[in-house]
Structure 1
Amino acid sequence: MVSRVREKKVTIDLVENPIPIRYEEVPQYTKEDYEERIRNVYNFSDERGYSHVIVYGDREHFSNVHYLTGIDPRFEEVLLILEKGKTPKFILGNECYAYANKIDFDIETILYNSFSLVGQPDYDTKTLLDIFKDAGINENSKIGLVGWKYYDRSKHTLENSILDVPNYIVETLCQIVKRENIDNATDIFIDNDYGLRNTLTAKEIINHELNGTKAGRNVYNVIKNLKEGMTEIEASGFLNIDGEPACVYPMVNFGETNTSYGIASPTYHKKLKLGDSICIGMAYRGSLVHKAGVYINKPEDLTEEQRKIRKDFYHTYFASIVAYYENFKIGNTCGDIYDKVDRVLGDGEPGGIKKFGIALNPGHLIHTDEWPNTPFNKDSKTVIRSGMGVQCDYTATHEDPYLTVHVEDGFVVADEKLRKEIKELSPSCYERIKARQKFMREVLNIDLPEEVLPLSDLPGVCFPYMADVSTVLCMD
């Protein structure tokens, strides 16, 4: 497979002549959408015997509560208390209390001053204990408490369910409920197989595609405008970031040291020079685009040691990306994808992921948070299904001589029914998706399954010379 990889001169029309974004086609989430999501939580409550599900959120860990309410906490903590048959109760600090007025379904908002920033006015609100009691929590209650992660009990020495919300909230609950009656219920939202946020609707896909479109075009704009002597912070200006909320910090890094950090923000003083490794990436909610390689025009711009390994390193990595996409079919397992990548990188044998210095999984799921979970592990039984939102995401690194490469793009899996819904809701979104599929099939020569819908305008694009955006890797 690696022998079929070659370089190709192209104009990437997806970004050079982009299909316009039509914001008026982007669907809004309705009262009915949020009510359905909350009903789905109640289904889990019934199965598990929870009297209440309490969902925690803060600025960093916003996705679960945002999914249920449309509110992403700004500056403050929040708690959403759900009890079947009762009006949801939303506990908020000063600033989120006003922000929550945008909610248009039936919900009771409760001001709790301690969730506000330090030093803000205290309006003599109730204690958290009294709020919990008013919500019907008593000594017989069983609580499903949602933070942002759940944990493998075998890796810990704690007796009870491991909780990751702030300790004072747990301690307050324990003044009413026995500790053993409080479960970590975060899997309701992020489990690889049944997590509510890990199977996307057409509305979610269209919103994520909008963000992937903008992220991909912005990343390309940086790469295209790089010049020797430019600092990282100067280059980051070409990201053209608008007011759309981001889900990761922008990454613009030059040189072996800075690119080795992986997730660093751009610095003021590091200047680009020919032969530098570079990483360029950003993400709005629902789709991340990141490209890493080396800033050269031709192989001769590298050291002799780098030239010896460059072709095999980059071509083998790209062949694994091709295998990733070509095998991403409904009914295959995520373990199959892991195995394909591992073997292509390993020249037909297992162990290629380790050989190529890949420290994390070959990909993960994505929602409004960048990494809710990943099923891409050896022997994973998670079945590829319609509605999956995926990041093809794994960085390869050769330590000595140093080279790095990363081709990260988002896509969703959609059966015929879901594709039809997307097309009906947003024709321009579907037009961009079809154009990307055509590019991957006809320019990159990737045998892309019909159910794979690319979300960025640089889908599968690997630049072997990142000072030359007219050259990409493709298959024969």
Structure 2
Amino acid sequence: MSRIGSVYLPDFGHDEALPKLPLGEYRRRIDAAIERMQTEGLDIVVVYADREHSATLAFLTGFDPRFEEALLLLDTQGRRLLLVGNECLGYLPDPALGLDIELFQELSLLGQQRNGSRPLAAILSDFGVSTGRRVGCVGWKYFEAGLVDDPDRAIEIPAYVVDALRTLTDGRGSVRNATALFMNPDDGLRLTNSVDQIARFEFASTRTSESILVVVQHLEPGASEAALARRMHGGGLPQSCHPMLSFGEKAKRGLSSPANIRATRGDTYTTAFGLWGALTCRAGIVGNGPEDLPDSLRDFYPAYVANYFDAVVAWYGAVKVGAVAGDVFAAVEAARDTSLWHRAVNPGHYIHLDEWVHSPFTAGSRTVLRSGSALQMDIIPVSDGPFCYANGEDGVVLADETLRGELAERHPAAWRRIEARRAFMTDALGIALDASVLPLSNMPAWLPPCALDLDRALVADR
């Protein structure tokens, strides 16, 4: 079983500027999408985006519609048309990407002008949507058999868009959900990341982890959630979720935003901060040790948190390029003491610009983890005894020898940080890592169960 030991967390550092993503990367992504369309027998793909669901559009174009919505139309002949609302006319992708741009004002906010654009049906018809054409709709989710009828034809983007497509193609059958092209766990286009994208995710992870580290360092009785939340700072990067910070009873609602509640000794706490490509979470007790715990937790919490870390260690030891996701799931389950806690969700998932793309980590999954995968160690342990909490969520990338060499060459400072994090996890925490596992967080697997004693953290029992 894992134990608590003396651990010094070094300062791994960070870059000052977000690494650039070359324009050619977006061209390659669009070309790959068109090739996948041809493989899937699609003539046209319609990618929908709004403020919450913009990851696939941003992946393809570097553009997200902020206050508005947007539609990207692609066909197999190479045509590329981006429909935007009023305000996004002043916030468009790089012209060198070669997208045609058209204003469609129903993508604008309510009350704004609607007299300067063509009807949607006319735009779609001119693009080639017509009888017999096979159209795929891409949003943020696809469906599987069981809970919805005809899952291939169940589409999550706005109904008026789907209705127009089906009217023009003369039937329901020609229009289907194509989100899996980008998000399915086996070969979704967004789940294999380039060396430059990985460097951007590493940059984001240094920001999220350093923010959470500062919050944890300033946890003390009397500290307010609101004051501590002001220490979370993404340096202007877009957030992938709302900031989270809760004490005491409020921590039972773990997704809650910070309020004016103040910490008391013995409280449970939980906090998380996410930016595009990264999220860091920590949870534990506001105290120095078991003596600060309520009587109901004094014996339970040490066993609970130690076994949680056993599962964390098992996850890190099982993931690698070529690993079968179901085997990772099984390793976590084998380490978990079922009398102490159960998982809230899957033991990990893919991350991208959106915080959760998909999870391959299910019982019996045959998904093979690929080089370039960005993953979250996201084991959320729900206590089966008295209420308490622990969490050490961080991100990693899997990279084969070739990708590691490219990363070291193109982004040497990031590579040095990754090597230092690997050494810390192995030498200080006792976690065995495959060579393909690249930690991105600046507090990698560092979890002090009692936040008032940060010199002591959980370590693997070697």
TM-score (ref. length: structure 2): 0.97
The amino acid across from 1:21 in the alignment is D
Q: Say if 1:225 and 1:238, in contact at 8 Å, map to a contact too.
A: no
Which residue in the other structure is 1:293 paired with? 284
Which residue in the other structure is 2:201 paired with? 208
Q: Secondary structure at the match of 1:253?
A: strand
Which residue in the other structure is 1:229 paired with? 222
Q: Say if 1:323 and 1:341, in contact at 8 Å, map to a contact too.
A: yes
Which residue in the other structure is 2:109 paired with? 117
The change in CA–CA distance for 1:27 and 1:133 in structure 2 (over 3 A counts) is same
Q: Say if 2:280 and 2:394, in contact at 8 Å, map to a contact too.
A: yes
Which residue in the other structure is 1:440 paired with? 425
Which residue in the other structure is 1:50 paired with? 42
CA distance in structure 1 between the aligned counterparts of 2:348 and 2:421, rounded to whole angstroms: 20
The amino acid across from 1:298 in the alignment is G
CA distance in structure 2 between the aligned counterparts of 1:189 and 1:159, rounded to whole angstroms: 17
Identical aligned residues as a percent = 32
Q: Say if 1:277 and 1:403, in contact at 8 Å, map to a contact too.
A: yes
CA distance in structure 1 between the aligned counterparts of 2:340 and 2:292, rounded to whole angstroms: 25
Q: Secondary structure at the match of 2:393?
A: strand
Q: Say if 1:160 and 1:180, in contact at 8 Å, map to a contact too.
A: no
Q: Say if 2:312 and 2:379, in contact at 8 Å, map to a contact too.
A: no
User: What is the aligned-residue RMSD (CA, Å)?
Assistant: 1.5
- Report deviation, 1:20: 3.8
The change in CA–CA distance for 1:234 and 1:83 in structure 2 (over 3 A counts) is same
Q: Say if 1:74 and 1:95, in contact at 8 Å, map to a contact too.
A: no
- Report deviation, 1:396: 0.9
1:164-216 Cα distance to aligned partner (Å, 9 max, x none) = 00111111112211111001000000110110001111111000000001110
Q: Give aligned pairs, total.
A: 460
- Report deviation, 1:103: 4.2
CA distance in structure 2 between the aligned counterparts of 1:160 and 1:31, rounded to whole angstroms: 33
- Report deviation, 1:304: 2.0
Which residue in the other structure is 1:349 paired with? none
Matched, 1:34 2:31: no
- Report deviation, 1:399: 4.9
Out of 77, 86, 92, the residue aligned to residue 69 of structure 2 is 77
- Report deviation, 1:397: 2.3
CA distance in structure 2 between the aligned counterparts of 1:395 and 1:324, rounded to whole angstroms: 13
- Report deviation, 1:160: 6.0
CA distance in structure 2 between the aligned counterparts of 1:214 and 1:103, rounded to whole angstroms: 30
Which residue in the other structure is 2:13 paired with? 19
Q: Secondary structure at the match of 1:49?
A: coil
Where does 1:453-468 land on structure 2 (aligned, <5 Å)? 453-468=438-453
Which residue in the other structure is 2:329 paired with? 338
Q: Say if 2:300 and 2:385, in contact at 8 Å, map to a contact too.
A: no
Matched, 1:414 2:399: yes
Structure 1 runs (4+) greater than 3 angstroms displaced: none
The change in CA–CA distance for 1:382 and 1:159 in structure 2 (over 3 A counts) is closer
The change in CA–CA distance for 1:41 and 1:324 in structure 2 (over 3 A counts) is same
Matched, 1:195 2:192: no
Q: Secondary structure at the match of 2:273?
A: strand
Which residue in the other structure is 2:136 paired with? 144
- Report deviation, 1:38: 0.9
CA distance in structure 1 between the aligned counterparts of 2:146 and 2:86, rounded to whole angstroms: 40
CA distance in structure 2 between the aligned counterparts of 1:267 and 1:154, rounded to whole angstroms: 39
Which residue in the other structure is 1:182 paired with? 175
Which runs of 5 or more structure 2 residues have no equivalent in the other structure?
Answer: none
Q: Say if 1:70 and 1:103, in contact at 8 Å, map to a contact too.
A: no
The amino acid across from 1:277 in the alignment is T
CA distance in structure 2 between the aligned counterparts of 1:27 and 1:160, rounded to whole angstroms: 38
- Report deviation, 1:154: 2.7
- Report deviation, 1:355: 5.4
Q: Say if 1:296 and 1:466, in contact at 8 Å, map to a contact too.
A: yes
Q: Say if 1:247 and 1:283, in contact at 8 Å, map to a contact too.
A: yes
CA distance in structure 2 between the aligned counterparts of 1:331 and 1:471, rounded to whole angstroms: 34
1:405-441 Cα distance to aligned partner (Å, 9 max, x none) = 1110000000110011111111111111011001001
- Report deviation, 1:51: 1.1
CA distance in structure 2 between the aligned counterparts of 1:416 and 1:101, rounded to whole angstroms: 34
The amino acid across from 2:315 in the alignment is Y
Which residue in the other structure is 2:358 paired with? 373
Out of 380, 385, 389, the residue aligned to residue 374 of structure 2 is 389
Q: Say if 2:360 and 2:367, in contact at 8 Å, map to a contact too.
A: yes
The amino acid across from 1:74 in the alignment is R
Q: Say if 2:282 and 2:391, in contact at 8 Å, map to a contact too.
A: yes
CA distance in structure 1 between the aligned counterparts of 2:21 and 2:352, rounded to whole angstroms: 15
1:112-139 Cα distance to aligned partner (Å, 9 max, x none) = 1111111123343100000001101111
Q: Say if 1:291 and 1:407, in contact at 8 Å, map to a contact too.
A: yes
- Report deviation, 1:84: 2.0
Q: Say if 1:44 and 1:188, in contact at 8 Å, map to a contact too.
A: yes
Q: Say if 1:54 and 1:144, in contact at 8 Å, map to a contact too.
A: yes
Q: Say if 2:284 and 2:449, in contact at 8 Å, map to a contact too.
A: yes
Q: Secondary structure at the match of 1:337?
A: helix
Matched, 1:7 2:4: yes
CA distance in structure 1 between the aligned counterparts of 2:392 and 2:383, rounded to whole angstroms: 15
1:76-128 Cα distance to aligned partner (Å, 9 max, x none) = 11110001224300011011122115342111000011111111233431000
- Report deviation, 1:159: 7.6
Which residue in the other structure is 2:211 paired with? 218
CA distance in structure 1 between the aligned counterparts of 2:438 and 2:111, rounded to whole angstroms: 48
1:218-255 Cα distance to aligned partner (Å, 9 max, x none) = 10000101221122111111213421111011111111
1:307-361 Cα distance to aligned partner (Å, 9 max, x none) = 1112211111111111111121222211111111111113xxxxx3x85131210
The amino acid across from 1:214 in the alignment is R
Where does 1:56-135 land on structure 2 (aligned, <5 Å)? 56-135=48-127
Out of 154, 159, 162, the residue aligned to residue 170 of structure 1 is 162
Q: Say if 2:152 and 2:177, in contact at 8 Å, map to a contact too.
A: no
1:248-296 Cα distance to aligned partner (Å, 9 max, x none) = 11111111x321112111012x110000000111011111100011111
CA distance in structure 2 between the aligned counterparts of 1:294 and 1:184, rounded to whole angstroms: 45
1:52-75 Cα distance to aligned partner (Å, 9 max, x none) = 011111100000011111001111
The change in CA–CA distance for 1:411 and 1:146 in structure 2 (over 3 A counts) is same
Q: Say if 1:160 and 1:179, in contact at 8 Å, map to a contact too.
A: no
The amino acid across from 1:109 in the alignment is I
